[in-house]
């Protein structure tokens, strides 16, 4: 049996053999994923670590923060601020971007993250995760500004998520397919357990919060109505539904066995384009899903081609198995 491949080896091979990632980007990914190991440990301690429950604060989006949201955010900031590879960071949990303090050397990359996605589930011991995305500082920029983060997803250099579930796993793309690593807790390393993940193009499984049905737009009603009609309806097949309400867990299931994930735009808040955040959630997940042969749209256009207007911008999300994403997108076009 060949010896297991660590994340470090995987990245060095990508750097050396394919010239895909510069050394500084490799170091950046190593630091981010090392922080994810720490978050994994904190999450796994649960009640024994005193990390459950509310933090008593709210983020800029008016959502109450869990203690673990704050711990995960601090862990990522501390791990990444001093290494010299970053110009600035932006987080779902912080009002503004975070420029690397002057006491540390600065680099050319921008890091964006949702430190603990699905954190409303944490007290129920349901899988949560960290989502991250890496961009290059725009050409000519010296002092990073908030606008520098407003780049379409097609400019991402790397994206990944760590899922803290029965095992902790890291799913990563540097634009050359998608690899999955599992945390070997004894060795303390992310170990490659699957390379070149592919999402099946067809699926009979979907994920949506159906309690919002009365607020959906007509194309979503039409699409879900057809799925619910099953073998007796126009699709002539039965579909199964799953909703964890933790995007990393729902997307990870799709990466594993296919499916379509939807968080459509919602009439409850017409001024908002959706619930999920473009820069911290939708773009990195869209990059991963596309690299695995899937598709990701907001119902009208490819998510990765949207030009962001604000750091905490929200977006409608349809992603996963290509055929279903294309179908629901075509229903939006028809409407
Ligand atoms: P969070 O980043 O604050 O955890 O919010 C995002 C989460 C996603 O993980 C999940 O898909 C969605 O919110 C669930 O929303 P709902 O509770 O409306 O079903
Ligand atoms: Mg989130």
pLDDT tens digits for 266-286? 888 777 789 999 999 999 999
Q: Is 227 among the domain residues?
A: yes
Residue after which a domain boundary falls, among 171, 194, 217: 194
Q: Is 226 among the domain residues?
A: yes
pLDDT one-digit tens code per residue, 230-261? 999 999 999 999 999 999 999 999 999 999 99
Q: Is 2 among the domain residues?
A: no
Residue 45 shares a structural domain with residue 99: yes
Residue 216 shares a structural domain with residue 158: no
Q: Which atom of ligand 1 is nearest to the CA of 280?
A: 2
Q: Is 56 among the domain residues?
A: yes
pLDDT one-digit tens code per residue, 79-130? 999 999 999 999 999 999 999 999 999 999 999 999 999 998 999 999 999 9
- In DSSP terms, which residues pair with 260 in a beta bridge? 206, 320
CA dist., res. 270 & res. 265, Å (int): 8
Residue after which a domain boundary falls, among 168, 194, 220: 194
Phi-psi region of 102 (alpha: psi -120 to 50; beta: other; left: phi over 0): alpha
Q: Are 303 and 296 in contact, with CB atoms under 8 Å apart?
A: yes
Instruction: Say which CATH number the domain at 245 has.
Output: 3.40.190.80
Taking residues 289-300, report their average pLDDT. Answer: 98
Q: Please tell me the predicted confidence (pLDDT) of residue 3.
A: 86
Q: Is 169 among the domain residues?
A: yes
Residue 138 shares a structural domain with residue 38: yes
Residue 51 shares a structural domain with residue 183: yes
The residue whose C-alpha atom lies closest to atom 5 belonging to ligand 1 is: 118
Q: Which residues contact 257 (CB under 8 A, 6 or more apart)?
A: 200, 205
Q: Please tell me the predicted confidence (pLDDT) of residue 54.
A: 86
Q: How far is the CA of 171 from the centre of ligand 2 (A)?
A: 16
CA dist., res. 120 & res. 251, Å (int): 17
pLDDT one-digit tens code per residue, 65-86? 889 999 999 999 999 999 999 9
Q: Is 159 among the domain residues?
A: yes
Q: How many CB atoms lie within 10 A of CB 102?
A: 7
**Ligand 1 residue neighbourhood (C-beta within 6 Å):** 63, 92, 114, 117-120, 209, 245-247, 263
Q: Which atom of ligand 1 is nearest to the CA of 61?
A: 3
pLDDT one-digit tens code per residue, 216-236? 999 999 999 999 999 999 999
Residue after which a domain boundary falls, among 165, 194, 223: 194
What is the average pLDDT score of the chain?
94
Taking residues 279-302, report their average pLDDT. Answer: 98
Residue 179 shares a structural domain with residue 148: yes
Residue 175 shares a structural domain with residue 210: no
- Tokens standing for residue 308: 């962001």
CA dist., res. 212 & res. 311, Å (int): 26
Taking residues 50-57, report their average pLDDT. Answer: 83
Q: Please tell me the predicted confidence (pLDDT) of residue 1.
A: 56
Q: Which atom of ligand 1 is nearest to the CA of 114?
A: 2
Taking residues 50-70, report their average pLDDT. Answer: 84
Residue 74 shares a structural domain with residue 36: yes
CA dist., res. 16 & res. 243, Å (int): 41
The residue whose C-alpha atom lies closest to atom 15 belonging to ligand 1 is: 245
Q: Please tell me the predicted confidence (pLDDT) of residue 104.
A: 94
Residue 20 shares a structural domain with residue 165: yes
- Domain of 294, in residue numbers: 205-334
| Residue among 70, 247, 265, 296 whose CB has most ligand 1 atoms within 8 A, to mutate | 247
Nearest to 206 by CA among 227, 222, 233, 230: 227
b (16+ CB within 10 A) / e for 185-208: eeeebbbbbeeebebbeebbbbbb
Residue 161 shares a structural domain with residue 279: no
Residue 241 shares a structural domain with residue 138: no
Q: Is 176 among the domain residues?
A: yes
Number of domains in the chain: 2
Taking residues 284-290, report their average pLDDT. Answer: 98
Q: Which atom of ligand 1 is nearest to the CA of 261?
A: 11
Residue 26 shares a structural domain with residue 54: yes
Residue 215 shares a structural domain with residue 162: no
Q: Is 318 among the domain residues?
A: yes
């Amino acid at each position: 049996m060949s010896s297991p491949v660590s994340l470090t080896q995987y990245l060095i091979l990508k750097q050396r053999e394919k010239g895909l990632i510069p050394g500084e980007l490799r170091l950046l990914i190593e630091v981010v994923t090392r922080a994810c190991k720490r978050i994994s440990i904190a999450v796994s301690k649960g009640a024994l670590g005193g990390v459950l429950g509310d933090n008593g604060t709210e983020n800029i989006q008016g959502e109450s923060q869990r203690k673990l949201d704050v711990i995960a955010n601090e862990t990522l900031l501390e791990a990444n601020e001093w290494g010299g590879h970053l110009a600035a960071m932006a987080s779902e949990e912080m009002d503004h971007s975070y420029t690397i303090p002057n006491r540390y050397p600065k680099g050319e990359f921008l890091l964006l993250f949702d430190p603990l996605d699905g954190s409303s589930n944490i007290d129920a011991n349901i899988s949560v995760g960290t989502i991250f995305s890496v961009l290059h500082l725009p050409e000519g920029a010296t002092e990073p500004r908030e606008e520098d983060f407003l780049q379409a997803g097609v400019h991402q250099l790397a994206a990944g998520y760590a899922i803290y579930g029965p095992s902790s796993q890291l799913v990563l793309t540097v634009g050359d397919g998608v690899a999955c690593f599992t945390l070997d807790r004894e060795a303390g390393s992310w170990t490659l357990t699957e390379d070149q993940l592919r999402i099946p193009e067809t699926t009979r499984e979907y994920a949506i919060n159906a309690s919002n049905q009365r607020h959906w737009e007509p194309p979503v009603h039409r699409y879900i109505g057809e799925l619910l009609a099953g073998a007796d309806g126009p699709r002539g097949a039965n579909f199964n539904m799953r909703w964890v309400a933790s995007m990393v867990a729902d997307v990870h299931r799709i990466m594993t066995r296919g499916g379509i994930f939807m968080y459509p735009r919602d009439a409850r808040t017409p001024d908002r384009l959706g619930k999920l955040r473009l820069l911290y959630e939708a773009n990195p997940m869209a990059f991963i899903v596309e690299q695995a042969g899937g598709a990701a749209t907001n119902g009208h256009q490819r998510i990765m081609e949207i030009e962001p207007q604000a750091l905490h911008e929200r977006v409608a999300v349809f992603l996963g198995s290509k055929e279903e994403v294309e179908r629901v997108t075509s229903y939006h076009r028809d409407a």
